[in-house]
A and B are shown apart, each in its own frame.
Chain A
Amino acid sequence: MLREILIYISAFIGLFATTFYFLSYYERRKDKEPEFPKNAPRVTIIIPAYNEEKGIAGSINSALDIDYPKELLEVIVVDDGSKDRTFEIASQFKSKRVRVFKMPKNSGKGAAMNFAISKARGEVIVTMDADNTIVQKDALKKMVAYFNDSKVMCVAPAMAIYNPKGVLQRVQQIEYLFGVFLRKAFSSMNAVHITPGAFSAYKKVFFEKYGGFSVNNLTEDLEMALRIQSHHFVIENSIGSVVYTVAPNKFWKLLKQRRRWYVGLLRNLWEYKRLFSKNYGPLGTIVLPVAISTVFISIALSLYIMVQTLIQIKKELFLMQGINFSLNYLELNWFMFERYFFMVLSKPMFLFAFLFISFLIGYMVFAKRKIKQYSSVRISIIFFLAFFSFLFAFWWIMSVVYTIFNKKVAWR
C-alpha cells in the first residue's frame, strides 16, 4: 500500500511537472535564436586542468577550432599543479592566442578558474573541461548572441555524450538527451539552475561585481548558476550549441562523479535555500521543489522496493521449497499471457509507466532533431529503462548519506 501511495504521488508530481515544462517551452517555441552581434565581444576560453595529459590536447584543439573571429578569441590553460605531463603538453600550444599558466600548487578548480579570469582579456568568459570536450564549431557564436540581452549573465549549451560504448555510457547518453529538452524548457521560464562545467559562457562583469567561482566547492559551476539566479539575472540555453563530453565508462568512476555532483547540489541548495520562494518565480515554486521531492520520493521508493524484494525472494524460496525447486509450476499458454496483460493494464501505475516511457521517447525525438548522435539511441533506451532508476536511487542514497554525515567527498 505504501509503495502504491509513493508511486502515485510521484506519478502526479511527474505529470504536473512535465506538463508545466512542456507548456513553458511551447509558449516560447517560436522565439527566434538571437543574431550574432556586429560588435562581437572578446571571448576568453579558460581550461583548468589537473592530471589531464590524455585529454588536454584534444580540448585545446577543439577550442582553437571553434568558429569565432580569431582576433577576438583567446584560450587560457591553467595547470592546477598536475603531477603528469599536462603542463608540458599544453605548453606546446603556446601562442598569441593560447596562454598557459601553472599554479604553484594544487588549489582546486575554482581557484584555477579565478586565476584565469584575473588574466583574461575577454568580456565573455567560457569555462571548458580539459578531458576531451568536443565543441561544435558554431556553438560559441550562437551562445554569445544571447548576451545581447543585458539581463543574461550566463549561457549554457546542449550537452551530449560523445560516441557512447557499453551499458553505462549508453545509459548516460539517454540521460543527457533527456536533459536537452529539460534545460530548454527551464530556460524558457528562467529556471536553469545547473550549468555544465564542460562548456558554459559567462559575462565577465558578473565575476567583477559578485566574485569569482567558489573555491573548495564540489560543484563550483552549480554554485555560480544559483548565485546568478539569486541576483535575479538570466541564464539562457542555446539549444543549437552542441557540446560533446566523454562519459565515465566504469561503475566506480561514474559513482564518484555522481556523488560529487549530488552532494555538491545538496550542499549548494542548502546554502541557497532562499531560492525556494515565489520571489524566484517558477524556479523557486516549481522547478526546485519538484527536483528535491523527486529525489526523496525516489530514495524512499527504492529503499521500500529493496526491502519488499528481499521479502518476496524469501517468500519465493519458501514456495519453491515445497516443489523441490522444480520449474513445473510455470505454465506457458495463452491464458497465462492474457492474465499477465490484464494484470498490467488494470493497474494505474503501469498505465502511468507507459505514459512516462512515451514522454521519454518524445524527449528523445526532440533531442535527436537538435543533436547528432554517434551511437544508436534505440539500444541505449533499452539500457536506460532497465538500469537508470536503480543507478539513480543508488547515487542519491549514497549522496544523501554523505551529506547528512558531512563526509568528505574527493574530486576524484
Chain B
Amino acid sequence: MENKRNSYGLRALLAFLIALFIFLSGFFLSYTISYAKYQSVADTHERIRQELIQIEFERSLSNCDIFGSYPLLNEELENNGVILGILEERFGKDDVRILEQKKEYSRLEEEHFYIVENYNLGCEKNYTTILFFYSNDKNLVMDAERMGFILGSFKNENPSVMVYSFDYNLDVDAVNSLKSAYGVSEPNVLVINGKTLLAGLEDISQLQAYVT
C-alpha cells in the first residue's frame, strides 16, 4: 500500500513536470514564431527600401510604369503594417525592436508617398493619397479603429487609392515632418491628396468625392 501511495505521488510529480515542460514549450514556440515573423518584417523592410530606391531612380528617368517591376510592393508594405500591429500586441508597445521597425515602416511609407506624389505630377497619373494619423490612446483608439476600417474598405473598392497610416505619437522624423508639412496638430486626422484635412471620418461616403 505504501509503495502504491509513493508511486502515485511520484507519478503526480512526473505528470506535473511533463505538463510544465509542454506548457512552457508552448509559450517558447509561440515566442519563436513571433520573433521569426519580426525578422521577416525587418528583412522585408530592407528589401522594400532597396526597391523604393530603384523605383525613384526609374521615375527620375521619366519611366511612367514604376510599379510594373514590383507588382506586390504596395501590398507587402501594407501587409507589414498589419503584422507590425499584431507584433505590437505580442511584444508590447514599448518593445525596442518593434518601435524600431515601426519607425522604419513610417520612413518607407513617407518615401512611398512622395514617390507617388511626384509620379502623379510627372506622369499625369491620378492616384489618390490619404495620410492617416491615428492614435492608440485609450480614449481615441475606437474612433481610430473605425477610421482605419473605413479606409481599408474604401481602398478595396478603389485600387487607385493609397493609404498611409502613421502613429501620431511616434517620435520619428518621417511622422514629425509630415505633421508639420500638412498642419496636423491632433490625432485621428486624414490628409487627402496633400491638400484636404479631414477629421472625424464616420462614413465611407465622406471619401467618395476624393476619388478621381
Chain A residues with a Cβ under 8 A of chain B: 11-12, 15-16, 19-20, 23-24, 27, 189, 281-282, 285-286, 315, 318-319, 322-324, 326, 328-331, 333, 335, 338-339, 342-343, 345-348, 351-352, 355
Contact A352 B149 (CB under 8 A): no
Given A285-B12, A351-B29, 14 more pairs with CB closer than 8 A = A27-B7, A281-B4, A282-B8, A319-B146, A322-B150, A322-B201, A326-B153, A328-B157, A329-B152, A331-B156, A333-B75, A335-B79, A343-B86, A348-B26
Q: Which A residues are in CB contact (< 8 Å) with B19?
A: 12, 15-16, 19
A338-B79 contact, Cβ under 8 Å, with A16-B15, A19-B18:
yes
Assembled-state Cα–Cα distance A23/B7 (Å): 11
Interface of A is mostly: helix
Q: Which B residues are in CB contact (< 8 Å) with A20?
A: 11-12, 15
Chain B residues with a Cβ under 8 A of chain A: 4-5, 7-8, 11-12, 14-16, 18-20, 22-23, 26-27, 29-30, 33-34, 37, 75-76, 78-79, 82-83, 86, 90, 142, 145-146, 149-150, 152-154, 156-157, 201-205
Contact A15 B11 (CB under 8 A): no
Contact A342 B26 (CB under 8 A): no
Q: Which A residues are in CB contact (< 8 Å) with B27?
A: 348
Contact B145 A319 (CB under 8 A): yes
Give me the 9 closest cross-chain CB pairs, A-B, nearest first: A20-B15, A329-B153, A16-B19, A15-B19, A19-B15, A335-B79, A323-B153, A348-B26, A319-B149
Instruction: Determine the residue in chain B with the shortest Cβ distance to A20.
Output: B15
Assembled-state Cα–Cα distance A282/B33 (Å): 38
Contact B153 A286 (CB under 8 A): no
B76 nearest CB across to chain A (Å): 8
Q: Which B residues are in CB contact (< 8 Å) with A322?
A: 146, 149-150, 201-204
B28 nearest CB across to chain A (Å): 9
Assembled-state Cα–Cα distance A324/B202 (Å): 11
Q: Which A residues are in CB contact (< 8 Å) with B20?
A: 12
Contact B153 A339 (CB under 8 A): no
Contact B33 A15 (CB under 8 A): no
